[in-house]
Amino acid sequence: MNRKLSPAGSRARSLWQREATAAPYHGLLMFLSQILLVLLVPLFDHGDRSAPLQFTLAALAVALVNLVMLGYRRLPLAIGLIGAPAVLWAQWNPEITIETRMPVVMALVAAYAASVYLSMHYAFTEEMRPSQRILCGAASFVMLGFMFTAAHGAVAASGLGVYRLSAELEGSRSLRWVDFVWLSFSTLTTAGFGDMTPIGSWPCAVAALEGLCGILYPATLIARIAAIPAIGESGKCW
């Protein structure tokens, strides 16, 4: 017996429904946009503990554009409409506190969570070219690094745990937002340089979860790509 969706359920379902086909070379464009964000990190680094609002807005814009390139229209519009008041609130309150930045961070996390999930979803499907599938998966891997960067920063800002620099660095300078970026990507790639140490149950839990994602996701993606037959290549690399 078929059940009718409630209006709320229908609206929620429509947000996750593609309204258009994915843009050409969307995997390549998504991957390059994430690499661009990584390159922008040192340009926005002014030694502050909180991430600059300009970099947060750039990351939010990139995440929304990625959703559009995947063929979605309503979802990025809904996130953008929710994030716009948060951006205005942060601009009208120049004092950097967890209260003024948390709405923007939550909008960023929502946009990145949707981008990561949907890019992972299409990286595991057979309807994409293998080359774009690989790049889409690589882009989602970099997105995971930025998502966990926001998670580490939120844990530290909310006082749920402590992050300490190594003994060589702790006496020379204070903790900066780029340290969370470095911790996130060094943990995600399982490099573990030890420049920064999470202390407490929440920081360790986030770091452990990120380490698991760093090991399991590439292995799962590679196995899935190897199992899917090469469809639609037509002798072309891209």
Q: What does the domain layout of the chain look like in residue ranges? A: 27-39+52-227
pTM of the model: 0.82
pLDDT at 188: 94
pLDDT score at 176: 87
- Within its chain, how far is the Cα of 102 from the centroid? 16
Q: What is the pLDDT of residue 233?
A: 47
Which are the contacts of 22, defined by CB distance < 8 A and separation ≥ 6? 69, 70, 71, 122, 128
* Sites in the chain below the pLDDT cut of 50: 1-3, 5, 232-238
**Sign of the CA dihedral running 198, 203, 209, 214:** negative
- The residues near 8 (Cβ < 8 Å, ≥ 6 apart) are none
